[in-house]
Amino acid sequence: MSDTSAIEWCDATWNWVMGCTKVSPACVNCYAEVSTPSRTMGIEWGDQAERRVARNATFNAPLKWNKKPWVCDRCGWFTNDIDNAHVCIGTGPGGFHRRRVFSLSLGDWLDNKIPVSVLARALNIVRLCPNLNFLLLTKRPQLFFSRMSNVAIYRDIAGKPVIDVDWVNAWACRNEPPPNVWIGTSVEDKQRADERIPELLKIPAKVRFLSCEPLLGPIRLPLTKPKPLYDAEYGDQHEYAEVPNGIDWVIVGGESGPKARPCNIGWVRDIKNQCKAASVPVFVKQLGSIPIIFGVDGPDGCDKLMVCRVSHTKCGNSSEWPEDLRAQEFPNAA
Ligand code: SF4
């Protein structure tokens, strides 16, 4: 658990459980598996390993954050009273936003090896914290409905549900998603985009987002879809307009760490340009530890290593990037 977070697009991370199983190429150098908490606690990865449930203080931390939900855009200061808040003299856009709580950074909330009792407890915390925005990211969006169904029917040892079942059913069955939940899926390449985005779009959500990180190849994102225009004279539908497809935000970044794979900044630029063309907010997080420029002659006669790691090993200092990549936007959600 962390009251603050080093991840640029959230204000806090909430790891109510730790441990996972690798499911795709993005998982090869899984940060969570080698993170300090995982190593010091001896947490094992894989289907046969038990997931580690957090202590109560960590599990229930959002209940505390919920009492001070507003975060200064400039300095990260928390308050529950923005009407009487100080005028911050820091840099950045002015104003306050609801605390963005990312979960999980050390696992996957739809991992079906997490006991359903634990998932139900976690979702109950989400339900009890309406002042926060929970950013729930998964590589398993196809499991949403089955996991929610399991949560809805789960009963504790006394035969009681641990969460308001109507809240679960409203979300999963009646298309009434909780207003404080953003649902995201990770897509690192074309195959994962083709597999996971259609599953994400089935999930009722106030905000849906994509995390294209670590970006491992070019991806064409379905940010819009064609809508037939009805022809009143002929009753024909022979013209189409491009309309939003239900994706509200895109995060993109290259891989970091000692075993990072190269990220072609042309892939990052292409995703950023797709978002701009579709009017979808985009957050370029980092260019990764090995950013390359495709098609520019480098020492080996092919791709060139981009020189932008002066102050940041993951090339996360946007002032070192080409100017057109400096986009760090958020969706319009209170
Ligand atoms: S889904 Fe996430 S936490 Fe799980 S193995 Fe993959 S990268 Fe690691």
pLDDT in tens, 127-145: 999 999 999 999 999 999 9
Taking the C-alpha atoms of residue 249 and residue 207, their distance in angstroms, rounded to an integer, is: 8
Q: Which single residue is written with the structure tokens 């319009």?
A: 332
In angstroms, what is the C-alpha Rg of the chain? Answer: 21
Cβ-based neighbour number of residue 298 at 10 Å: 12
CB 312 near ligand 1, within 6 Å: no
Task: Give mean pLDDT, residues 145-174.
Answer: 96
Tell me which residue has its CA closest to atom 6 in ligand 1: 27
DSSP 296: S
Report the relative pairing of strands 78-79 and 70-72 from DSSP bridges.
antiparallel
DSSP 328: B
CB 139 near ligand 1, within 6 Å: yes
Provide the whole-model pTM: 0.92
Task: Give mean pLDDT, residues 272-291.
Answer: 95
Taking the C-alpha atoms of residue 192 and residue 278, their distance in angstroms, rounded to an integer, is: 21
Q: Residue 16 in contact with residue 58, Cβ under 8 Å?
A: yes
Cβ-based neighbour number of residue 22 at 10 Å: 15
Ligand 1 center to residue 274 CA distance, Å?
26
Q: Residue 251 in contact with residue 280, Cβ under 8 Å?
A: no
How confident is the model at residue 296, as a pLDDT? Answer: 54
CB 22 near ligand 1, within 6 Å: yes
Task: Give mean pLDDT, residues 30-43.
Answer: 92
76-85 long-range contacts (CB < 8 A, ≥24 apart) are 76/4, 76/11
Ligand 1 center to residue 40 CA distance, Å?
18
CB 255 near ligand 1, within 6 Å: no
How confident is the model at residue 105, as a pLDDT? Answer: 94
Ligand 1 center to residue 19 CA distance, Å?
8
pLDDT(25) > 60:
yes
Ligand 1 center to residue 16 CA distance, Å?
15
Ligand 1 probe mutation, 18, 33, 34, most atoms within 8 A of CB: 33
Ligand 1 center to residue 221 CA distance, Å?
22
How confident is the model at residue 100, as a pLDDT? Answer: 95
Tell me which residue has its CA closest to atom 4 in ligand 1: 20
Taking the C-alpha atoms of residue 1 and residue 228, their distance in angstroms, rounded to an integer, is: 47
pLDDT(294) > 80:
no
- Give 309's pLDDT tier (boundaries 50, 70, 90): low
CB 32 near ligand 1, within 6 Å: yes
Six token digits for residue 105: 């950074």
Ligand 1 center to residue 205 CA distance, Å?
22
β-strand partners of 292? 264, 305
- Give 161's pLDDT tier (boundaries 50, 70, 90): very high
More confident residue, 88 or 96: 96
How confident is the model at residue 92, as a pLDDT? Answer: 57
pLDDT(91) > 70:
no
How confident is the model at residue 219, as a pLDDT? Answer: 97
DSSP 174: S
Six token digits for residue 276: 């701009």
More confident residue, 267 or 78: 267
Taking the C-alpha atoms of residue 187 and residue 206, their distance in angstroms, rounded to an integer, is: 20
pLDDT(225) > 90:
yes
β-strand partners of 228? 240
pLDDT(3) > 70:
no
Ligand 1 center to residue 32 CA distance, Å?
7
